Structure 1
């Protein structure tokens, strides 16, 4: 598996503000690996909210098709975390996003990730085309 290739944090157009809980730590006293996926999901929600695309959720859905997380430093519970997020590719039925998770108190990068999201038709139970409004809004925001 290839390591996610990410630009510098300054090149991301959106940074989500998240928070971990003390209970997110495992018995080693570090952030449980499953929590990272939740942080990516929270960042996606904030990103689409910022782009005013949440209203489209009633008309289309997407599923996580693939993800790749490279863990760089142990995360901690009960602290602030920032997630830089960027949509790096728009296909006809999928899109790719890149993420950098870091602690703003120390600037230590906890992880870098990449995810492929697949546009999904629940009715057809298959991948479907991306809505034009969704594509246009992301193209404009990301300068694609």
Structure 2
């Protein structure tokens, strides 16, 4: 996970497990959401409520099942692209040494009226400072 700027550990909850003792596929989107929120809090160094983004795309590829483990899963996050009004994040979900899933989300910056707007320069600068290879 060395190419990822951020990693976090997400607990596996009992409710996450399906009848086959695997983490249900839909739960992976929640893991990405939790990791994305922590990543943005860290990169922006400010509260979530000060940023207006709308998720417009979510892609997940499943590579291996995840079963319950008290250690949880590790989710790595990095910004893969900053567009005019969008931010694309890449993810890797690991269960120990196994890559269980990879994903990508695209978010669009919104103004107070709910219309798309350009990614503010201060947001762009904060992400580029957190991930210098984007600059």
**How high is the TM-score relative to the length of structure 1?**
0.83
How many matched pairs? 132
- Report if the CA contact (8 A) 1:23-1:77 is conserved: no
Q: Are 2:79 and 1:90 aligned?
A: no
Superposition deviation, residue 78 in structure 1: 4.8
Q: Which runs of 5+ in 1 are unaligned?
A: 1-8
Superposition deviation, residue 114 in structure 1: 0.8
Structure 2 Cα separation of the partners of residues 109 and 127 of structure 1: 34
Q: What is aligned with 1:4?
A: none
1:3-22 correspondence runs (5 A): 9-22=1-14
CA RMSD, Structure 1 to Structure 2 (Å): 1.6
- Report if the CA contact (8 A) 1:71-1:111 is conserved: yes
Choose the corresponding residue for 1:64, options 33, 55, 61: 55
Choose the corresponding residue for 1:33, options 25, 30, 35: 25
Superposition deviation, residue 112 in structure 1: 0.4
Q: What is aligned with 2:128?
A: 139
